Amino acid sequence: MKMKLSPQQEAAVLHMGSPALVTAGAGSGKTRTLTAKIAHLISLGYPPERILAITFTNKAADEMKRRLVALTGIPETGFPWVRTYHSACYKILCVHCGLLGYTTPLQIYDTYHQRKTITDVLIRMNHDKKFVPTILNHISKAKNSGNPGAYLDAYPFISYVRLADAYELYERMLKEKNAVDFDNILLCVRDILRDHDDVRRRYQERFEFILVDEYQDTNNLQEDLTGLLCRGDNLFCVGDDWQAIYSFRGSNMRHFLSFEQRYADARVFKLEQNYRSADTIVRVANDIIDYNHDKMDKTCFSEESGGTVEIYEFDDEVEEARWVARKAEELNEDGVPYDAMAVLYRTKFTSLYFEHAFRRAGIPYHLLGDRGFYDRKEVMDINSYLMAAVFEKDDTAFERIINIPRRGVGAKTLASINDMRTGAMSLQAAVHLALAERRLSDKVYQALSDLMALLDDIRDMRPDAAIREVIERIGYLNYLKQYADAGSMDFTEKVENIDQLISAAARMESLTAYLEEAALIREDKDDEEGGFGVNLATIHAAKGLEFHTVFVVGCEENLLPHWKSLEEEDDLQEERRLMYVAATRAARCLFLTAAGFRKGQFNRRSRFLFEIERSL
């Protein structure tokens, strides 16, 4: 199947011989161009298994593979290196982790494990556990900066916690468990490629071409990896600096803006035609971003005439929400489906009155960005059993399951078992020792014997069979029903989640492969869109999506732009990019609203509304 391309898209696709950057305006066919580039490389004789295509989410990688299958006829398995940075680097790390003193299988610590480990770190350092989120955040930033040492020098203390000491102890505890966190995956591979010439040459030779999607969102560490893997002329990056809105995650837009300086003989291609939004919306969006001075110039346009852009102001957030609800009803009566509408806001608290208004009006709605599948209690419980079976040093997983369901292992019993540990002995090893020496009551002895037997039995099972075995042997559904009843939760929904878990696990061959996949997807913060009804979302959660009608609400000073972003020019420019992203989600209708009073406080209308008014 040959893909139809615009002249600008085709020029980028056909370019060879030097690094290329495609600066793609909103709705300009960025993914189409990237996919067409890969198909073109294959037509030139490049083996698909030697093309590295980096996306920022697992969902985007899956979508790209689906497009490539349709375009080339090659099955998905023929594209083993269409992956996220983390997934690609983990694959490399599993081969070469011995260079850093690890063994396989290597465990990925998810957020739950990281928090538990940092909690243990702070307890050992005699510090309050309340610092766990802050310390974890700084450790992550240190790694993603690409230079942890310099970061730790710049931030020596968090309150009275010496950050370098916490970092060192945290890393040592991970190493003892033969585990890495998500940031370690990138940092370790960066260090291996940087410090081992033979490994670097191996992958430079393996990857005949490297493509990077959403290049404006790369952080320093990811840019280091890109530079180490490419040979110089075989790099193709796509993105839009106008939509760079993730500096809080460590992304550095300067990589995008300095591409021509960083890579010799680089070419820049501009995709300026917007195929999503009507002309009026595109013109307004251009004028919004024009107030930013740090950007690559583009003149985006649309051949779709018309479009609606209107500004409304209200006394307070209640009146604002009621108007949005009434307008949504009117549009729906005119034939616009509710799920083709979105209410976008800068911060999550803003959604409250819109939820109220939609409920009262009987309008269905859907909140984007709900709790991820692998973060749900029942999924974490079952996966912890599987982790404990595969990774015997995983104390975090084992501690979670040792009393789920209740086995009579109270705090005193657990403390006595922990007292038996010496050196780096795992909790499971201590339980085996306690069982061997029969230091437990008859009830606890039998319960823990059954638990250890279960872990032994499922270790070599297929993932779906292991899950069924766990559920059956521990009576998990009975436990879950009691838990759901006690907590007023929906038991049926939890059973459906377990059914879905079994279905997903059945696609994997081994527990190790399943747990690796689950850990990578769990870290992936990409929100699932869909569901029936008006979409309520933060602007960040809506990036990459499109709707017939968009309401951008809460357009007030200190909210959009956010009060934390008013002091630094770089931060204010990012807030303006957020407004640009919000506006360009709309295909036909864009409504912007502000409330004079919100949370009982007077608010001035956003400066961005004045900028938009000048454009209308």
pLDDT digits (tens, 9 = 90+) for 7-42: 999 999 999 999 999 999 999 999 999 999 999 999
- Give 338's pLDDT tier (boundaries 50, 70, 90): very high
**Does a structural domain hold residue 101?**
no
- What is the mean pLDDT of the segment spanning 549-565? 93
The catalytic site residues sit at 30-31, 213-214, 243, 585
More confident residue, 456 or 231: 456
pLDDT-wise least confident of 264-273, 406-415, 480-489: 480-489
pLDDT attached to residue 507: 79
Q: Is pLDDT at 179 greater than 90 in this prediction? A: yes
The last residue of one of the domains, among 465, 493, 524, is 524
What SS3 class is residue 136?
A: helix
Same domain, 360 and 386: no
434 pLDDT more than 80: yes
Report the pLDDT averaged over residues 176-182: 94
The answer to whether position 77 is within a domain reads: yes
More confident of the two residues 191 and 517:
191
Q: Is residue 461 part of a domain?
A: yes
If asked whether residues 16 and 80 sit together in one domain, one would say yes
What's the per-residue H, E or C state across 176-243? HCCEEEHHHHHHHHHHHHHHCHHHHHHHHHHCCEEEECCHHHCEHHHHHHHHHHCCCCCEEEEECHHH
Residue 488 has what pLDDT?
A: 36
Evaluate if residue 556 carries a pLDDT over 80.
yes
Predicted confidence at residue 522, as pLDDT, reads 62
Question: H helices then E strands: how many in the chain?
Answer: 28, 17
pLDDT on residue 489:
39
pLDDT of residue 28: 94
Residue 183 lies in a domain: no
Mean pLDDT of all residues in 358-383? 83
Find out whether 423 is annotated in a ligand binding site: no
Residue 605 is predicted with a pLDDT of: 95
519 annotated to a ligand binding site: no
Number of domains comprising the chain? 4
Asked if pLDDT for residue 527 goes beyond 50, the answer is no
Give percent of the chain above pLDDT 70. Answer: 95
pLDDT per residue over 46-95, tens digit each?
999 999 999 988 888 999 999 999 999 999 999 999 999 999 999 999 99
Position 525 scores a pLDDT of 34
Q: Are both 424 and 346 inside the same structural domain?
A: no
Three-state DSSP state, 21: strand
The enclosing domain of 591 has a CATH number of 3.40.50.300
What pLDDT score was predicted for residue 1? Answer: 52
DSSP string covering 583-599, please?
HTTEEEEEEEEEEEEET
Pair 221, 197 in one domain: yes
The length of the chain is: 616
pLDDT attached to residue 198: 96
Q: What is the pLDDT of residue 521?
A: 64
Q: Are residues 421 and 487 in the same domain?
A: yes
Q: Using DSSP, state whether 534 is helix, strand or coil.
A: strand
What was the pLDDT predicted at 530? 46
What is the structure's pLDDT at 225?
Answer: 96
Query: 33: domain range?
Result: 7-90+190-271
The HSE-up count of residue 136 (CA atoms within 13 Å, CB side) is 19
Q: Indicate the pTM of the whole model.
A: 0.80
Residue 365 has pLDDT above 50, yes or no: yes
The answer to whether the annotation marks 544 as part of a ligand binding site is no
The reply to whether 163 falls in a domain is yes
Q: 528 pLDDT exceeds 50?
A: no
pLDDT at residue 370 in the model = 56
- Whether residues 466 and 447 fall in one domain: yes
Closest CA to 306 of 324, 328, 284, 337: 284
As a whole number, mean pLDDT of residues 363-388 equals 84
Q: Is 248 helix (H, G, I), strand (E, B) or coil?
A: helix
Residues 164 and 121 in one domain: yes
Asked whether residue 82 falls in the same domain as residue 229, the answer is yes
The DSSP symbol for 605 reads B
Residue 146, marked binder: no
- The mean of the pLDDT values for the chain is 91
What pLDDT does residue 484 have? 60
Evaluate if residue 129 carries a pLDDT over 90.
Answer: no
Per-residue confidence (pLDDT) for residue 439, from 0 to 100: 84
Written as six digits, the tokens of 343 are: 């209410």
Do 429 and 387 share a structural domain?
Answer: yes
Which residue bears the tokens 């959403």? 214
Q: Could you give the CA distance from residue 69 to residue 48 in angstroms, rounded to a whole number?
A: 11
Closest to 511 measured CA to CA, from 452, 477, 470: 470
Choose one of 489, 524, 559: the last residue of a domain.
524
Q: Is residue 185 part of a domain?
A: no
Q: What share of the chain is helix, strand, coil (3-state, %, to 5)?
A: 55, 15, 30
Give dist(CA 134, CA 111) in Å, integer: 13
| 596 marked ligand binding residue | no
Q: Is 28 annotated as a binding residue?
A: yes
pLDDT at 296 exceeding the cut of 90:
yes
Domain check: are 408 and 461 in the same one?
Answer: yes
Predicted confidence (pLDDT) at residue 175 exceeds the cutoff of 60: yes
Please identify which residue in the block is written with the tokens 């990019």. 577
Does a structural domain hold residue 99?
A: no
Domain identity same for 71 and 168: no
Tokens of 555: 């357009």
**Is there a single domain that holds both residue 509 and residue 383?**
yes
Above pLDDT 90, what percent of the chain?
73
- pLDDT at residue 519 greater than cutoff 70: yes
Angstrom distances, CA of residue 542 to CA of 201, 203, 213, 369? 40, 35, 18, 9
In a domain, 182, yes or no: no
Looking at 271, 288, 318, the residue that finishes a domain is 271
